[in-house]
Amino acid sequence: MRYAYYPGCSSHSTARDMHESAAAVANKLGIELVEIYGWSCCGATSAHQTDRVLAAALPSSNLLLARDMGLDTVVTCAACYNRMKVANREVKDSAEIRCMVADRVGKEYDGSVAVRHIIEILLEDVGLDKIKKALKKSLNGLKIACYYGCLLVRPNDVTGFDDAENPTSMDKLVNAMGGESLEWPYKVECCGGGLNLTRTDVAVRLSGSIIDMAARAGADCIAVACPMCQASLDLRQSDIKKETGLKADMPVVYLTQLLGLCLGIPLNELGLNRLMVSPANIIKQIC
């Protein structure tokens, strides 16, 4: 199992823990992640809000680098995953966009490089059986609200990730690790990440409702696969508490961090010390 790995900008900033835990888990399960040499930003939300061709050109230049490696691209960030999938669709569907992208990048790209999220690799390529065999510890019935957010599942005709309204990929992994994934209604609601800096008040209300719903469903923690969701729910939790009167702490961990713990990987290699809301209480129960 060898892949071209696109870490994304947040892996060196707000989501180092996502990058660290994904790399450690991959290493343990025999997934070889070869970092794309010279990768650049996918453009994220700002590019598609600014210009449609720019939004397709930035991911395309990276996918061209991956094409030269002859490997599928693996992404850990849900936003990069989404932008790359959309770029693939744009250059495939429209000759006009394809030409304009080629003009800007300086090379023609046909949208042919497969883009996959690390969750898809874990489920489809490694498989639950192999993961179960590699486990050293169990989640011991921890109640976990799996939160998918927007960018993995929508638009589903483009990302093709699981089900648009009730995805279960992360739930399957959580259950395989001995946890109890919760049935709850806010799996694919939006955390408001796009307004985190510009309209913090709105972002806090949206994230607050997600934490509130997870708490009411009885969650011990929320599992995420997107650095924007993680920042909205974890980094902003102090603001959410002030605004909504939420009392108890709700740890927000990457699914790869939970998996890393169950695979017996040391805490510091999973970036768990970087979380704002301490996950100490849930770590205690994992043995």
Partner 1 sequence: MKINGTRKSNLKQTVEELSGVRIDSCLKCMKCTSGCSVAKETKMHPSELIGLLKLGAGDEILKSDLVWMCLSCEICYGRCPMKINTASLIDALRKLAVERGTTTRKGNAPLFNKAFLGTVKQYGRSYDLQMIMHYKFGSGSLMQDTEKFPTMLRKGKMALLPPYGAKKTVVKRIFDTSPGGKGKIK
Residues that bind partner 1 (CB under 8 A): 9, 12-14, 16, 38-41, 43-54, 57-58, 61, 65, 94, 103-106, 150, 153-157, 164-165, 189-190, 192-195, 197-200, 202, 205-206, 235, 238, 273-276
The CB-of-170 to partner 1 minimum distance in angstroms stands at: 18
The CB-of-248 to partner 1 minimum distance in angstroms stands at: 20
The CB-of-193 to partner 1 minimum distance in angstroms stands at: 8
Q: Which is nearer to partner 1, 113 or 262 (CB)?
A: 113
- What is the SS3 assignment for 72-86? CEEECCHHHHHHHHH
Q: Which is nearer to partner 1, 202 or 287 (CB)?
A: 202
Chain-centre distance for alpha carbon 237: 19
Q: Which is nearer to partner 1, 142 or 277 (CB)?
A: 277
Q: Which residues pair with 4 in a beta bridge?
A: 34, 73
From 272, 168, 192, select the one nearest 240 (Cα to Cα).
192
Judged by DSSP in three states, 7 sits in coil
Q: Two tokens at 196?
A: 């985190």
The CB-of-65 to partner 1 minimum distance in angstroms stands at: 8
Q: How far apart are CA 156 and CA 148, in angstroms?
A: 13
The CB-of-206 to partner 1 minimum distance in angstroms stands at: 6
Asked whether 60 and 109 are in contact (CB, 8 A), the reply is: yes
In the chain, the N- to C-terminal Cα span, in Å, equals 29
279: preceding bond cis by omega (within 30 degrees): no
The CB-of-169 to partner 1 minimum distance in angstroms stands at: 17
Asked whether 119 and 160 are in contact (CB, 8 A), the reply is: no
Q: How far apart are CA 42 and CA 57, in angstroms?
A: 9
Q: Two tokens at 213?
A: 């719903």
Q: Which is nearer to partner 1, 86 or 255 (CB)?
A: 86
Q: How far apart are CA 184 and CA 80, in angstroms?
A: 26
Beta strands per DSSP E along 88-240: 115-117, 143-146, 180-181, 221-224
The CB-of-41 to partner 1 minimum distance in angstroms stands at: 4
